[in-house]
Chains A and B, each alone.
Chain A
Amino acid sequence: MRGPSLAVKGGILLAVVFAALKFVLPLFTAPLPMSLIWLYLFLATIGIVVYGTLSAESTEALLGPVFRFLSGEGIGGMAKSARLAVLALVPLLVGWQTYSGLVPSSQPPAENRTIHPAPPGEFVGLSNPVPNTPENVMQGRGFYSAFCSPCHGAKFNGNGAASDGFNPPPANFSDPGTIAMLQESYLFWRIKKGGVGLSVEGHPWKSAMPRWEVELSDDMIWKIIMAEYAGAGQKPRTWE
């Protein structure tokens, strides 16, 4: 194993991981938030350090160049000036990062929103009182088309005509991470009480979901729930 190559390889690997996540992945799908990119870079760094420090030889190959760079040992000529430039750049970068973090901005901070806060006790464990018959599901589809599809989409994918106007966008029911993870009683609560009925636990919540209890009867809501599961090809979470 050659001395400095491991440190260089590690640096290249980190740069490749960063470039792949930041620039290549968005060519195929939505861009990743920086919080996730930092997380993956952190893991890649752990991997480099663990692998690089397995033996005395590899430790020297990984850390030797770093220590030599920091101490300036054996560095002369142009490399010396480059080293000083890098050493001056690092505190400047830290300063810039600190300034960027503290300077007042019109952008709201990144948030860790709680998507599925616990429902109030009275909604826990409710079972759908409406029989799951084709007629009821069909009726539910009708109600869904009238009241829900403008936002949640005719295909139950959260891509309704009005969906672009909302942030966060309406839930995509065909995603196995949404209604398939929830019981019918949970959906009943969310539809009935809407965004304003979200519990304190869900703060800071942002939901434009109307409070449908004002306009729909409980029966209609239960039928809509059946239609949503049927239309999205999902099944509600159950315990039996």
Chain B
Amino acid sequence: MEHMRNQKSVYAYAALFLVLAFAVAMPVGLAWAEDAPAGAATEYRDIPGMGSRNLIWIVAQQHLLLAGFVLGVPIFAWVCEIVGVRTGDQRYDKLAKEFTKLLTSSYATTALFGGILLFLLIGLYPKLMNYLSDVFFPSFLVYCALFLLETATLYLYWYGWDAMQGSKKGLHLFLGFLLNVFAFFIMVVPNSWATFQASPVVIAEGSMWAKAWTATWNPTWWPVNIHRLIANVVLGGYICGAYAGLKYLMAQNAEERVHYDWMGYVGNFIGVFGLLPLPFAGYWLMREIYQYNQQMGITLMGGFLSWLFILQAMLIGILFVGSNYYFWLGIMHRIPGSEARYRRPILTMLVILLVCLGVWMTPHSLVASLEEARKMGGTHHPLLGVFGVMSAKMTVANLMILVTFMSFIMYWRAGKEETARWAKVAKAGQGVILGIAVIVVVVLGVWGYFVPAITRINYFSTTQVLVVLFVLLTVTPLTGLLMKSARTTTEMVWGVMPARAGYALVLNAVMVILLMTLMGYARSSSRVHWHVYGVMQDTSQYAYSPALGYAAAFMALNTFMFCMLVAFIFWVATLGGEKKGGATDTASVKGKGATSPAAGGAPVPATGRQ
């Protein structure tokens, strides 16, 4: 019966794959060259019906999302492996291996989409690709070399996992390190091509390498590198969380529930870990864009794309609420008897989060009917209009980061009692640090309205960020030290989370994917009618910005397609495990004893499920 069901699934996925392949291949086959004058080179080709830009939009977005996943996952797979070695807890090693298994199947698909994207770009945008090849040819070679190295390292890392245990574990860890180094540069090199299109630096003189190097070091290259690196960790973490969430929902026995509950926790933890510094990186990127070209900056943040940032606020806000919700569910369900103690602080944090989100989502100019605008005296509300500017947004974003961080700290401490003699002093110190940080963030936020913009941007916003980072970097190690000697009062019970926890993990992943499609559109659209901003104009029939509603539909489509693709890849990845014997590499649960270096405690399997 089980076999027949699997066989049916195979047919269903094969049919889906063929339909997708057909949907992509057919219009490509119909592509024709736009009429070019005799003797002139073809500048564009089009896809009838679908449009060349739409096809590139879909393929590029799928490639980027897959790339984000395959570059993010090795980071925490490697970190998990290190944690496993340092603590001697085999669960981390098995978790790292399971993540890497997902990686191997995703890697090939990412490369496949990269190849399709390249062929489509060459075919549909020959003028642009000729230009980019002239500028970047040396870095194409570097990229190829990196790709070979990355592939070889990934094979060694994955296939050598079992062979390199024991005394050879150090070598395996070194391979993991190399994997991440190559992965980082594989991300960095194409970033230079994309950022060059937005903020080009072109030199007329010099060698091929000098031109490529100058174009690579364009103003937005490093801000994008850092932003994407962190975003990839977030994407990888939340997708692994969603994978664990789904597996948890489908778990057939207590052992699977325990394992996937814990895996979901780790995925969410990594997602949150990346999410906390992500707004800082985004802020830096926007600042560089403004400095490079104010027109582009205004188009993004004040012009027609500014509405995307309201959507961004909503998505990030839901992500924050979703991640906190998962932490809170963990406290309520994994730590028996904790409800009475933690309900009030959770309510406080929830209210702060929602108030902050309300401020973040309040636009500068409101959507209002003629009658409403008349009553308001314009589209700015005299009272709530102050929420629409950056000073307010920065303040609430920092507060939400602090609340989420404290949520995690609360989870970490739950069910434990500090035994260190200096515990009281340390906890009071943490409270003071947090209190002062909140006051500083709020005061600077309010003060920001009364100083010139440059003072706010250069000093106030930076100070807010530094204060929050200071809290993160002092409270975390201090809590770690406290927990080292802490006594467990209530043992954490794994595998008893309600079904909605699994759905929350899936929701978080969907939010991150939507967020990436949204900001991908914003970044591309900020170039408006330029292929290479200010250097090469888009003269195709698609040299216009699509309406926001149309773009939103494409973002939803891209998100849906990516989710389907990931589901397919993960399903394929787990086929082998199922055939070998039921549960896929389900970790053996050690029960009591192991101390989790990331908050979470030791997994104790539960027999029941709520």
Beta-carbon contacts under 8 Å, B361-412 to A: 361-386, 388-389
Most chain B Cβ neighbours within 10 Å, of A31, A34, A55, A59: A55
How far is the CB of B549 from the nearest CB of chain A, in Å?
Answer: 11
How far is the CB of B193 from the nearest CB of chain A, in Å?
Answer: 24
Beta-carbon contacts under 8 Å, A28-64 to B: 28-36, 39-40, 43-44, 46-47, 50-51, 53-57, 59
Within the complex, which residue of A53, A54, A115, A119 is in contact with B295, where a contact is CB–CB below 8 Å? A119
Determine whether B328 belongs to the interface, using a CB cutoff of 8 Å to chain A. yes
Determine whether A99 belongs to the interface, using a CB cutoff of 8 Å to chain B. no
0 or 1 for each of A113-129: is its CB under 8 Å from B? (1 = yes):
11111111100110000
Known contacts A111-B367, A201-B303; A50/B298 CB under 8 A:
no
Bound complex: CA A198 to CA B493 (Å): 62
Within the complex, which residue of A51, A125, A167, A240 is in contact with B373, where a contact is CB–CB below 8 Å? A167
Residues of A in contact with B, size category = 35 or more
Known contacts A36-B384, A43-B354, A54-B332; A237/B452 CB under 8 A:
yes
Most chain A Cβ neighbours within 10 Å, of B296, B347, B381: B381
Known contacts A31-B376, A107-B370, A167-B373; A117/B454 CB under 8 A:
no
* B368-A30 in contact (CB<8A): no
* A239-B454 in contact (CB<8A): yes
Given contact pairs A33-B372, A107-B369, A167-B373, enumerate 9 new A-B contacts (beta carbons under 8 Å).
A29-B381, A33-B369, A50-B328, A54-B329, A56-B498, A118-B303, A168-B379, A237-B454, A239-B454
Chain B residues near A108 (CB, 8 Å)? 369-370
Determine whether A146 belongs to the interface, using a CB cutoff of 8 Å to chain B. no
Ordered by A's residue number, 25 sampled pairs between the chains whose C-beta atoms are within 8 Å are: A29-B382, A33-B381, A34-B372, A35-B367, A36-B362, A36-B366, A43-B354, A46-B318, A51-B347, A109-B369, A110-B372, A115-B364, A115-B365, A117-B299, A117-B303, A118-B303, A119-B295, A121-B295, A124-B293, A167-B370, A176-B450, A177-B388, A201-B299, A201-B304, A237-B452
Chain B residues near A112 (CB, 8 Å)? 307, 363, 365, 367
Chain B residues near A125 (CB, 8 Å)? 294
Bound complex: CA A116 to CA B303 (Å): 5
Bound complex: CA A39 to CA B381 (Å): 15
Within the complex, which residue of B343, B373, B454, B534 is in contact with A238, where a contact is CB–CB below 8 Å? B454
Determine whether B358 belongs to the interface, using a CB cutoff of 8 Å to chain A. yes
Bound complex: CA A24 to CA B294 (Å): 41
Within the complex, which residue of B357, B384, B534 is in contact with A43, where a contact is CB–CB below 8 Å? B357
* B366-A237 in contact (CB<8A): no
* A47-B351 in contact (CB<8A): yes
Determine whether B500 belongs to the interface, using a CB cutoff of 8 Å to chain A. yes
Within the complex, which residue of A39, A40, A169 is in contact with B378, where a contact is CB–CB below 8 Å? A169
* A181-B453 in contact (CB<8A): yes
* A116-B302 in contact (CB<8A): yes
Bound complex: CA A40 to CA B359 (Å): 10
> B452 — nearest CB in chain A belongs to which residue?
A235
> B610 — nearest CB in chain A belongs to which residue?
A56
Bound complex: CA A33 to CA B368 (Å): 5
Determine whether A175 belongs to the interface, using a CB cutoff of 8 Å to chain B. yes
Most chain B Cβ neighbours within 10 Å, of A30, A39, A176: A30
Chain B residues near A28 (CB, 8 Å)? 383
0 or 1 for each of A56-88: is its CB under 8 Å from B? (1 = yes):
110100000000000000000000000000000
How far is the CB of B369 from the nearest CB of chain A, in Å?
Answer: 5
Beta-carbon contacts under 8 Å, A136-180 to B: 167-169, 172, 175-177, 180
* A115-B379 in contact (CB<8A): yes
Within the complex, which residue of A29, A124, A176 is in contact with B389, where a contact is CB–CB below 8 Å? A176
0 or 1 for each of B341-355: is its CB under 8 Å from A? (1 = yes):
001001100110010
Interface of A is mostly: loop
* A50-B382 in contact (CB<8A): no
* B367-A124 in contact (CB<8A): no
> A105 — nearest CB in chain B belongs to which residue?
B369
0 or 1 for each of B509-539: is its CB under 8 Å from A? (1 = yes):
0000000000000000000000000100000
Known contacts A107-B371, A176-B450; A114/B304 CB under 8 A:
yes
How far is the CB of B349 from the nearest CB of chain A, in Å?
Answer: 10
Bound complex: CA A240 to CA B371 (Å): 42
Bound complex: CA A124 to CA B375 (Å): 35
Within the complex, which residue of B333, B354, B366, B369 is in contact with A46, where a contact is CB–CB below 8 Å? B354
> B362 — nearest CB in chain A belongs to which residue?
A36
How far is the CB of B540 from the nearest CB of chain A, in Å?
Answer: 18
Most chain B Cβ neighbours within 10 Å, of A59, A118, A239: A118
> B367 — nearest CB in chain A belongs to which residue?
A35
* A118-B452 in contact (CB<8A): no
* B386-A177 in contact (CB<8A): yes
Chain B residues near A110 (CB, 8 Å)? 367-369, 372
Chain A residues near B383 (CB, 8 Å)? 25, 28-30
* A183-B294 in contact (CB<8A): yes
> A26 — nearest CB in chain B belongs to which residue?
B375
Determine whether B209 belongs to the interface, using a CB cutoff of 8 Å to chain A. no
Determine whether B155 belongs to the interface, using a CB cutoff of 8 Å to chain A. no
Determine whether B321 belongs to the interface, using a CB cutoff of 8 Å to chain A. yes
How far is the CB of B374 from the nearest CB of chain A, in Å?
Answer: 6
* A44-B376 in contact (CB<8A): no
Bound complex: CA A46 to CA B290 (Å): 35
